[in-house]
Structure 1
Amino acid sequence: MTSAFTTPIVTALSVRARLVRRGGTEDACRAWQTRLVQLSVWMEYWQMECCGTPFRKDSEVSWRLRPAADVDWLDTVLEDGVAATIDAVEDHHGGSSAPPTVATVVSIATVHCRFVPEPVAGSGVMTPVDEAKRWNSDLGDRRFAGFLVRLLTPETNDG
């Protein structure tokens, strides 16, 4: 499925080489010679702190995703239109009946901002990181709000 905010990407030889290095068969490599879709996923801080599994850039994850909703506040704190680029929200507490999305983590960024008690406009800071840890520190008076994660997953033809 491709939305206005997903980007189809044809796999590069480096992805195929990485699969071979990891012991992938030629069939597995051919399966990756398909169109891939980049998804932007929001993961709220409490999802990870409650029972999340830490992950790293270039690792494989299997998440149940739901449509992005209630992320407009990110535009208030970051002031850059990021909410419109978010395709889904990772939510392992919402009872989603969607099948797990298996994907490779392309990038991870932490998001911190001020809350008094609502998110403060323009107070957001997005920091690229290599690993999403279960517990993340605040940055001074900016509280850790969550992760913005970019995933790469095979395109599905489900309609």
Structure 2
Amino acid sequence: MRVSVWIDAGQQQCCGEPFRTGEVVSWEVNEKPGYEGLAVRMNAEYAGGVRYVQEHHGDDPDGAVTGRISHIDVVACLRENGTLLVGSGRPLPVAADTDVPEGLQGDELWTLEGWVVRLDLLTS
């Protein structure tokens, strides 16, 4: 089974471990289908494909998911005077969380908000 997980850039920078396509990961998550925070950045249709939100602090996690990363999209959004422009987000494929897509490096209008990671779940 394949699922998508939202990883917030702030939480990843604070407490996350690096990840890349092909790796097996186990993440604590909360089940939040159609996560509102992603819907604001992108749109409800795109967010509707996300089932889980990775959790490093704050909410008690609902559980953990373990799987092999099959695809990563970094989500980049426009900001004006530091304020998010609702719906401005676009997904850009990357191989790892440390990758910055060409054209966004040094561009002050775009911010990297997080990642949508597709996992092929592993069963024990």
Cα RMSD, aligned residues only: 2.8
1:79 Cα deviation (Å)? Answer: 3.9
Q: Aligned residues: percent identity? A: 27
Post-superposition offset of 1:91 = 0.7
Structure 2 counterparts to residues 55-134 of structure 1, below 5 A: 55-68=19-32, 71-79=35-43, 81-94=45-58, 96-116=60-80, 117-133=82-98
Aligned residues: 119
**Larger relative strand fraction:** 2
| Inter-CA distance 38–69: structure 2 relative to 1 (3 Å threshold) | closer
Runs of 5+ in structure 2 lacking a partner?
none
Q: What's the CA shift for 1:132?
A: 1.2
Q: CA deviation at 1:38?
A: 0.7
Offset of 1:78 from its aligned partner? Answer: 2.9
More helix by share: 1
Contact residue 77 and residue 123 of structure 1 kept, 8 A: yes
Deviation string 1:64-105 (CA, Å, 9 cap, x unpaired) is 110227833533443471111110000121353544321111
Q: Which runs of 5+ in 1 are unaligned?
A: 1-36
Q: Secondary structure at the match of 1:86?
A: coil
Report SS of the residue matched to 1:131.
coil
Corresponding position: 1:142 with 2:122? no
Instruction: Encode CA deviations 1:106-149: one digit per residue, 9 max, x unaligned.
Output: 1101011023454313421211011112x868932011100010
Of structures 1 and 2, the one scoring higher in RCO (CA 8 A, sep 6+) is 2
TM-score (norm 1): 0.63
Query: Does structure 1 retain, via aligned residues, the 8 Å contact 2:33–2:49?
Result: no
Structure 2 CA distance for aligned equivalents of residues 114 and 71 of structure 1:
19
